[in-house]
Amino acid sequence: MPESETAEVLANALPVLPLTMGVVLPHTVATLTLDTEEARAAVAAANSGDGRLLLVPRIDGRFARVGTVAHVEESGELPNGVDAAILRGLHRARLGAGVAGTGVALWVDADEVLDETLSDVADAAQSERLANLGRELRGVLSVLGERRRSRRLPELLRTTTEPGALADGFGAWSDLPSEKKLELLETVDVEARVERATAWAREALAEHEVADRIRTEVGEGMDRRQREFLLRQQLAAIRKELGDDDEGGGAAEYRERAAARELSDDVRAAVDREIERLEHTGEQSPEHGWIRTWLDTILELPWGVRSDRTADVVAARAVLDADHNGLDDVKERIIEALAVAKLRSQRGLADHHAGLILALVGPPGVGKTCLGVSVARATGREFVRLALGGVRDEAEIRGHRRTYVGARPGRIARALQEAGTMNPVVLLDEIDKLGADWRGDPTSALLEVLDPAQNHTFRDHYLEVDLDLSDVLFIATANVAEMIPGPLLDRMEVVRLDGYTEEEKVAIARDHLLARQLERNGLLAEEVVVSDDALRSVVVDYTREAGVRNLERELAKLLRKVAAKVASDVASPPIAIEAADVRTHLGRARFLAEETEDRTAAPGVATGLAVTGIGGDVLYVEATAVPTGSPGESGLTLTGQLGDVMKESAEIALSYVRAHATDLGVDPALLTGRRFHVHVPAGAVPKDGPSAGVTITAALVSLLTGRPVRGYVGMTGEVTLQGRVLPIGGLKQKVLAAQRAGLTTVILPSRNGPDLDDVPEAVREAMTFHLASSVEQVLAVALGPPTTQAAIAA
């Protein structure tokens, strides 16, 4: 809005009184102390003239562009000796250039600005708008005065009629900071000034309402808690006088639930104690919710509930045989446990420690996890699976203590709650992959769970009562037993699943995997007929594993191809798949029969047997020699990412050959002036262990004598400096790997002879085994006749 429409400007010269603190607005009265010579000179100059001067604020180091023309109502000396003056603000004035005046005061040329009143505004619409703004400001200030219980604000509203003067009065009355008061002073336009004052008044009112609401809510909350406390105290006193046992807070319901459970004395005492705490805890207290959660959790456990276990041993064995091929060791152990439980029940003996703790150790895909489900079906128990892979927090097993927010019981207690019985089959899957960090070691917590002498009093940190786990059948699964801590492994009965033979895999594919994949791929059993020869082709040419997981994937791929043909009407069922059709559906064979004859045709190469995390495997040891240029210099280089134990076995093998060169038919001259290099292929795979000792020895002797190792012979065993062959582990897995690789003869340590009973009879009949106690016996079987040309020239 143009200024000419709202104010009248008059030119005049006035003395200046600088204000270093605060702002004096028009239409207000202020008392100022004259503590500077400049201030006293300005008041003196005003008194000598018409009594007027110009008040100019100085904020943040700068003078305002607009000041307040004020009249000196009275000036003099206060009782404390300080000069002071009472000033009344009249109107605004813009500062102009300095001019000459009387005395020492600073004089400036001031353009005085007089606010126009509502009656002076010529434009009716503008006058109406200004009047509305004034009424709005007056309404806000009226409410603000009532809320703050102010005396000055109602007086201001009663004595002030003009909107501009009302805005100035609000600025002087309120607790606005000096910056905002200066902004109000410099707002010459009346309409803009009233709008700004109204916005600030609304902010002040909103702040006051928020503070008042907070104060009211806090007061009401305190009053309510005090009232509830007094009422509860009175209620307790009344109950005590009347002997009334009626409880609130759901205590009666919890007592009924506890009475319906077969709780032990200790557990019942703990439940009763918490119910009493619940009675005396107000619902507004956080502990009320914690107590209810604990009571709900402990009463949801299946106290005294047990599954009716199967007593028919023959029927249980039939279930296990129907679900799994092979795995006789595990099946026999389960049947033994059922037979013992049946006899104890028939003869009235206490059925304490009726649980069983097994550890199924074997490569992936041999059916360890599925066996747990089968055991539950065979024994008539509920089944719960706990995946322990990657668990690092001890509280996952024992639970969190109740002092923590969000605490809950551990996985063992939750497994019982999920099963609904106290004697389920609990599968501890991947127990060898438990971790440990600063939060604790879960394997240590499992020591009590898996100890038959202790687990009848297992104590969860959250429940803080004894849980009887003696009837639980625990089955742990692992790929590598060495990854399980010794104390924990000692508490479990280890049953090793070393993998399946070729015939067993064909039977599993025919009896189990094929039917499952037919259903998953939307095919009917009569629509696809897969011959045993086709299954054997898939086993031999497309998978090489201890288990059957990849075999099932290949069967799924095969049936998907068939399903695509049926769905697109390319072929009509029934569709017969023979061995010759497998390549059409699965492509070229991924695994070819290992050409061991070619690998060991040259001297210096021997075939060894090893055990990995995925079962047994065949590895080749290659040896060669490089002249050093110095007749007396020799050494040994090892490659293939070998571990420390395997490196030591190579050193032992070379030392034995050096010491017994003549007995072995080796020219001693060939052992000097040469650096021997032993390499185990598949260099990206770490290898370790002592069982490759005889294989390295055979490779070195083959190299030095020019006698190649027979291609159909595999060997394993630890060797000593005296040439003794020591026993090894994992014999069954190694023999099965040798069979898969096409080897027909295997050399084993003589002390491993009894372990051949674990090898399937079909494999024992198809292969030849030589038991050796010395390196000479190994070499007599392994080495063939010398080639026409020696491997190393003398």
Q: Do the strands 7-19 and 52-59 form a parallel or antiparallel pair, or are they unpaired?
A: parallel
Residue 414 Cα to chain centre, angstroms = 19
Residue 57 Cα to chain centre, angstroms = 63
- CA dist., res. 387 & res. 400, Å (int): 19
568 catalytic per annotation:
no
Place of tokens 């100890």: 451
Q: Is 66 exposed, middle or buried (0-12, 13-18, 19+ CB in 10 A)?
A: buried
Backbone torsions φ then ψ of 675, nearest 5 degrees: -105, 125
Place of tokens 């045709």: 601
Place of tokens 């032992």: 652
**Whether the Cβ atoms of residue 665 and residue 623 lie closer than 8 Å to each other:** no
Nearest C-alpha neighbor of 624 from the set 641, 647, 606, 644: 606
Nearest C-alpha neighbor of 776 from the set 602, 679, 657: 657
| 562: CB partners within 8 A, 6+ apart | 521, 523, 528, 571, 575, 577, 585
734 catalytic per annotation:
yes
- CA dist., res. 90 & res. 73, Å (int): 12
Q: Which of 181, 505, 687, 734 is catalytic?
A: 734
594-596-600 Cα angle (round to 5): 150
Q: Which of 374, 691, 702, 732 is catalytic?
A: 691
Backbone torsions φ then ψ of 749, nearest 5 degrees: -60, 140
Name the token pair of 578.
């023979």
- CA dist., res. 104 & res. 327, Å (int): 117
- CA dist., res. 188 & res. 26, Å (int): 11
Nearest C-alpha neighbor of 649 from the set 614, 613, 682, 606: 606
Q: Do the strands 493-496 and 605-612 form a parallel or antiparallel pair, or are they unpaired?
A: unpaired
Place of tokens 């043909």: 565
Size of the chain in residues: 794
- CA dist., res. 596 & res. 693, Å (int): 19
Strands of 300-362 (E only): list them. Answer: 356-361
Q: For the chain, how big is the Rg over CA atoms in Å? A: 49
In the chain the first and final C-alpha atoms are separated, in Å, by 116
Backbone torsions φ then ψ of 540, nearest 5 degrees: -80, -45
**Whether the Cβ atoms of residue 447 and residue 487 lie closer than 8 Å to each other:** yes
Q: How many CA atoms lie within 13 A of 457 on its CB side?
A: 3
Q: Is 194 exposed, middle or buried (0-12, 13-18, 19+ CB in 10 A)?
A: buried
Residue 533: what residue type? D
Alpha-helical regions (H) of 404-548:
411-419, 442-449, 486-490, 502-508, 514-520, 532-542
Residue 357 Cα to chain centre, angstroms = 29
| 768: CB partners within 8 A, 6+ apart | 744, 745, 746
* Neighbour count for residue 310 (Cβ, 10 Å): 17
Backbone torsions φ then ψ of 294, nearest 5 degrees: -65, -45
Name the token pair of 766.
């198809």
- CA dist., res. 230 & res. 237, Å (int): 11
Q: Which helix (H) or strand (E) holds 357?
A: strand 356-361
Q: Three-state SS for 320?
A: helix
**Whether the Cβ atoms of residue 72 and residue 84 lie closer than 8 Å to each other:** no
Active site residues: 691, 734
